[in-house]
Structure 1
């Protein structure tokens, strides 16, 4: 590649992915200059898996009890995604670079919505 910072679909490419196991966080830097720190809990409860997202917006599940979840490992999937294995053994979501980028941009709102959904359902972040 000739230093392109965007893929063929016009989405930013990742520059660096760093797992911080002790901090229970994933750091992702993109070639356009954006960098995001994702807590493992956020990634777990917003997993792009069918188990969490369902098969449509109305089927999305509110996942509770994941305050202390960690990340055991990362596995690249082609040039477009990573598979994250969490220590609760969830590993079915493929986190595309585009998904992580959008999640990073909207992290604050996504987190607040998650907390609101937990409260509305009478659920807790604690196991």
Structure 2
């Protein structure tokens, strides 16, 4: 999945993304981004976390696919600007290595329904859930 995400980001970065006009962090639930073409996207913490552009140790490999699961209630703790091209988001599961570029935000917003549908299908395929595992 990581290599697919990288290919998508690389392909998308060659397209002309409208200029970012606004980023608003609404911790712990979402990030809102607005672009010069009038597009406004509200992206949930769960959606951003499972589509993180970084690979980390909290990913489970299932049948050769990289799957992030159990993040329905993940929250955003903070974010920091990275140059003039993106932000690093710190989630309450301590994931903080992904840098979300303006191009990637536009990609995530423009493709939100299909990406989330594909994510839920993949979870079902592997018998996993968006909900966190219960502590025993």
Q: Secondary structure at the match of 2:67?
A: coil
Between the aligned partners of 2:55 and 2:93, the Cα distance in structure 1 is 16
Moved over 2 A (4+): none
Number of the residue aligned with 2:37: 32
- After superposition, give the CA deviation of every residue in 1:23-82 in whole Å (9 maximum; x if it has no partner): x01110112211100010000000000238x9xxxx752111101001001111111111
- After TM superposition, the score normalised by the length of structure 2 is 0.77
Give 1:60-79 correspondences, 5 Å limit.
61-79=66-84
Change (3 A) 1:92 1:60: farther
Change (3 A) 1:121 1:81: same
Whether the aligned pair in 2 keeps the contact of 1:26 and 1:40 (CA below 8 Å) is: yes
CA RMSD of aligned residues (A): 2.0
Between the aligned partners of 1:100 and 1:50, the Cα distance in structure 2 is 17
Task: Report how many residues are paired.
Answer: 114
Q: Secondary structure at the match of 2:130?
A: coil
Unaligned runs of 5+ in 1: 1-8
Is 1:15 aligned with 2:21?
Answer: yes
Number of the residue aligned with 1:6: none
Q: Secondary structure at the match of 1:10?
A: coil
Change (3 A) 1:85 1:60: farther
Between the aligned partners of 1:60 and 1:18, the Cα distance in structure 2 is 32
Residue 46 of structure 1, aligned match among 28, 44, 51: 51
- After TM superposition, the score normalised by the length of structure 1 is 0.83
